[in-house]
């Protein structure tokens, strides 16, 4: 469902109580943080519609506050289920939320509040786990007292003569003071090292985007000040992502109840490149463009008009810039100079994160990231890290999404996901068996009846695992009965495929396909599938028979209890809620 760009939830007055403020990164404000937003008076609504909206808002607020209470109490899985339910109440209400001002505002506030909680926590295992915030170099510098070391400045001036850059570099006391802080203090040096190590993961991608957009390569280092190269960095102001965009503005970044592209490293980088290039076109100076990115182009242009100086350093000396913007430009220049001379500043022993390498598959259905992790054989944290723009641990159900998965797993993913009905991919799991593991063991781990596992895997009994080394597990949505229960029907005298199909709300063609029937005739006493089982082909069974149950990465819930041939137990699933999606389509 398409909804308007989310406004700042935490800054708006609402029936919704203010959410808990989690520790967040201190980062400079994004370009439009001070831009004014035009508002128009909403059209009058009838008493009946207002009462309907108020009741829905009351229910949504209740679900949200229950989630917040569970989050405070450490009940992470329950909190996530509450948050999902709050959003789903809005999405499944049948109301055009986008064109209902009151509900649109409520939806914005709820998603922003939940997003603040989710982004400021690392998704681990089956839910959210709070993580300590790490200071950016900018945040560390804000708390420091700066001094200019003449020796540091002289050495920097000497090295600058041979430093090659596609960006204009200068040396003055302002820049030298930041070099001194970042190279000669534990706090300053530590944040620079952490940021530049993290940059290794994204550097090649960012450089390519900057090159394509015609932006100087060394402007990659704005990310040091903005986020320390963290794609999910959040600022208390509401700015988010590696390049710290606000929740509003025309950046070409989508934001809805499922996806926030401010946290997509590549899409946000492209938006940043276009914004900084636009600021340069408007100011005619790269330093003023950098200041504009931090403070806003309109503010910088007004400062230029007041003073008559289209020069950053002149605006600095005349106190026509806010303190944060004063620090912003020399801080980034210091980082560029230090990065260009790593040995001189103790940066020659960095251990950059390996470059991001991945496969991409396009989905237009909702699939839980835990199922993606099961299928590709990696921890769920790796899948989350590859898809930081997903807000709810699953891909959106109605829109195309480029799902990133580990390199080399695309063919495996496409083969295995095709076995799971499309409307079950947000709940069901894929479990790799280890030697000696039984259907009952898997059923106990996932809290699913063994008979239902046998049904969806088309096993003749709960003990029949001949030639099987993996199982599809029909985990039910939160607050819903199992979708596999009562999925077998024993025919009676007089039954036909037409009458059975009518009784269970399916088609004759579906009954034929699920039960491998060639005609409409069915004898009394035959068991028929009246719901879709997993679509496991004979070839798939044969391929599984040839692999070892104890292979590496066999179980991605809990670790195996011993060696690769020992019995293992799968992770317990967390609660999720969703609505059905259409049958699987190939894109």
> What pLDDT, in 10s, does the model give residues 448-505?
889 889 989 988 877 878 889 999 999 877 544 444 444 677 788 777 888 787 777 7
Q: What pLDDT is attached to residue 74?
A: 65
Residue 256 in contact with residue 250, Cβ under 8 Å? no
Q: Provide the percentage of residues in the chain whose pLDDT is more than 90.
A: 48
Q: What pLDDT is attached to residue 68?
A: 79
Start-to-end CA distance of the chain, whole Å, equals 19
> What pLDDT, in 10s, does the model give residues 304-326?
999 999 999 999 999 999 999 99
Please state the pTM of the whole predicted model: 0.67
User: What is the signed CA dihedral for 486, 492, 495, 498, rounded to 10 degrees?
Assistant: 10
Residue-range domains of the chain with CATH: 137-340 (1.10.530.10), 363-487+531-545 (3.10.350.10)
Q: What pLDDT is attached to residue 127?
A: 38
> What pLDDT, in 10s, does the model give residues 61-75?
888 887 777 777 666
pLDDT at 402 over 70: yes
Q: What pLDDT is attached to residue 478?
A: 53
Closest CA to 422 of 535, 544, 256: 535
> Given pLDDT bands bounded at 50, 70 and 90, which one contains residue 113?
low
User: In Å, how far are 360, 363, 461 from 586, measured between CA atoms?
Assistant: 14, 8, 32
DSSP string, 146-182: P---HHHHHHHHHHHTT---SS-----HHHHHHHHHH
Question: 361 pairs with which residues across the strands?
Answer: 403
């Amino acid at each position: 469902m398409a909804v308007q760009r989310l406004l700042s939830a935490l800054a708006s007055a609402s029936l919704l109580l203010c959410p808990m403020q989690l520790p967040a990164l201190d980062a400079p404000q994004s370009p439009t943080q001070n831009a004014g937003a035009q508002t128009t008076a909403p059209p009058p609504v009838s008493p009946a519609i207002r009462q309907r909206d108020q009741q829905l808002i009351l229910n949504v607020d209740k679900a949200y506050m229950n989630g917040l209470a569970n989050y405070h109490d450490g009940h992470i899985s329950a909190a996530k289920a509450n948050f999902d339910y709050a959003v789903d109440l809005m999405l499944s209400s049948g109301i055009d939320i986008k064109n209902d001002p009151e509900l649109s505002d409520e939806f914005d506030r709820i998603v922003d509040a939940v997003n603040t909680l989710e982004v400021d926590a690392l998704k681990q295992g089956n839910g959210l786990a709070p993580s300590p915030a790490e200071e950016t170099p900018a945040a560390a510098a804000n708390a420091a007292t700066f001094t200019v070391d003449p020796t540091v400045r002289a050495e920097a001036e000497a090295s600058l003569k041979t430093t090659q850059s596609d960006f204009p570099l200068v040396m003055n006391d302002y820049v030298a003071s930041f070099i001194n802080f970042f190279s000669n203090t534990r706090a300053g040096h530590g944040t620079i090292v952490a940021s530049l190590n993290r940059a290794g993961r994204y550097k090649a991608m960012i450089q390519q985007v900057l090159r394509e957009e015609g932006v100087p390569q060394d402007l990659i280092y704005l990310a040091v000040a903005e986020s320390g190269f963290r794609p999910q960095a959040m600022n208390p102001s509401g700015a988010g992502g590696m390049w710290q965009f606000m929740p509003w503005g025309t950046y070409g970044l989508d934001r809805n109840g499922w996806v926030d592209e401010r946290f997509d490293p590549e899409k946000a980088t492209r938006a940043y490149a276009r914004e900084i290039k636009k600021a340069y076109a408007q100011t005619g100076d790269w330093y003023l463009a950098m200041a504009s990115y931090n403070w806003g182009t309109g503010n910088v242009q007004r400062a230029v008009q007041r003073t008559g100086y289209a020069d950053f350093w002149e605006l600095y000396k005349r106190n026509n810039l806010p303190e944060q913007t004063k620090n912003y430009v020399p801080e980034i220049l210091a980082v560029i100079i230090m990065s260009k001379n790593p040995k001189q500043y103790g940066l020659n022993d960095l251990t950059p994160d390996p470059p991001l390498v991945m496969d991409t598959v396009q989905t237009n259905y909702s699939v839980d990231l835990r199922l993606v992790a099961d299928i590709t054989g990696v921890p769920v944290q790796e899948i989350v890290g590859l898809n930081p723009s997903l807000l709810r641990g699953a891909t959106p159900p109605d829109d195309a999404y480029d799902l990133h998965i580990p390199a080399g797993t695309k063919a495996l993913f496409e083969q295995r996901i095709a076995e799971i009905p499309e409307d079950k991919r947000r709940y069901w799991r894929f479990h790799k068996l280890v030697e000696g593991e039984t259907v009952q063991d898997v059923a106990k781990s996932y809290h699913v009846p063994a008979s239902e596992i046998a049904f969806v895997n088309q096993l003749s009994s709960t003990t029949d695992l001949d030639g099987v080394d993996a199982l599809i597990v029909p985990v039910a949505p939160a607050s819903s009965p199992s979708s596999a229960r009562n999925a077998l029907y024993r025919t009676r005298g007089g039954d036909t495929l037409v009458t059975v199909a009518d009784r269970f709300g399916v088609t004759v063609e579906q009954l034929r396909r699920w039960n491998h029937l060639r005609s409409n005739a069915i004898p009394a006493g035959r068991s028929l599938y009246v719901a879709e089982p997993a679509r496991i082909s004979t070839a798939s069974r044969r391929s599984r028979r040839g692999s070892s149950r104890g292979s590496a990465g066999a179980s991605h819930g809990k670790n195996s209890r011993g060696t690769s041939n020992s019995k293992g137990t799968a992770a317990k699933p967390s609660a999720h809620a969703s609505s059905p999606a259409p049958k699987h389509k190939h894109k």
